[in-house]
């Protein structure tokens, strides 16, 4: 079945560092891919999405490119801030099934 694998955390970086959180997927169809962010005590917020191969999703300085050849959707940001500290979830939606498959989440700590 479909699955999402993302790098385990926690990831700790200094402010203004470059961020990469890896995410790879397996899917039988042509999925859409998402990154969600969860701040402490809150629900998940959609950060960005990509619906087909080579699409780049971007929002708030974060980017991710849908790479079909490597089945990846890595999250990147050029200069992180303390306010980016949160848990990040990679997810996919396959039109064959009505469910969304989530990765286990990666906790990010940004040090001032």
Binding site for other proteins (CB under 8 A): 31-32, 34, 36, 41-46, 49, 51, 89, 93-95, 98-100, 102-105, 107
Strands (E), 1-112: 3-6, 11-14, 19-21, 23-26, 32-38, 44-50, 56-59, 62-65, 75-77, 86-93, 100-102, 106-111
Q: Which is nearer to other proteins, 42 or 112 (CB)?
A: 42
Minimum CB separation of residue 21 from other proteins in Å reads: 14
Q: Which is nearer to other proteins, 3 or 20 (CB)?
A: 3
Q: Which is nearer to other proteins, 80 or 91 (CB)?
A: 91
Minimum CB separation of residue 61 from other proteins in Å reads: 19
Neighbour tally for 9: CB within 10 Å: 15
Q: How far is CA 27 from the centre of its chain?
A: 16
Residues near 112 by Cβ (< 8 Å), separated by ≥ 6? Answer: 15, 82
Minimum CB separation of residue 18 from other proteins in Å reads: 25
Strand 44-50 with 56-59, pairing: unpaired
Q: Which is nearer to other proteins, 41 or 112 (CB)?
A: 41
Minimum CB separation of residue 107 from other proteins in Å reads: 8
């Amino acid at each position: 079945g479909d699955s999402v694998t993302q790098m385990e955390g926690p990831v700790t970086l200094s402010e203004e560092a470059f961020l990469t959180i890896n995410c790879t997927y397996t899917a039988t169809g042509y999925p859409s891919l998402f990154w969600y962010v969860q701040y402490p005590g809150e629900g998940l917020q959609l950060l960005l999405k990509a619906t087909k191969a080579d699409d780049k999703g971007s929002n708030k300085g974060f980017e991710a490119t849908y790479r079909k050849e490597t089945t990846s959707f890595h999250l990147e940001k050029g200069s992180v801030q303390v306010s980016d500290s949160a848990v990040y979830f990679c997810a996919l939606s396959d039109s064959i099934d009505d469910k969304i498959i989530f990765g286990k989440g990666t906790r990010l700590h940004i040090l001032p």
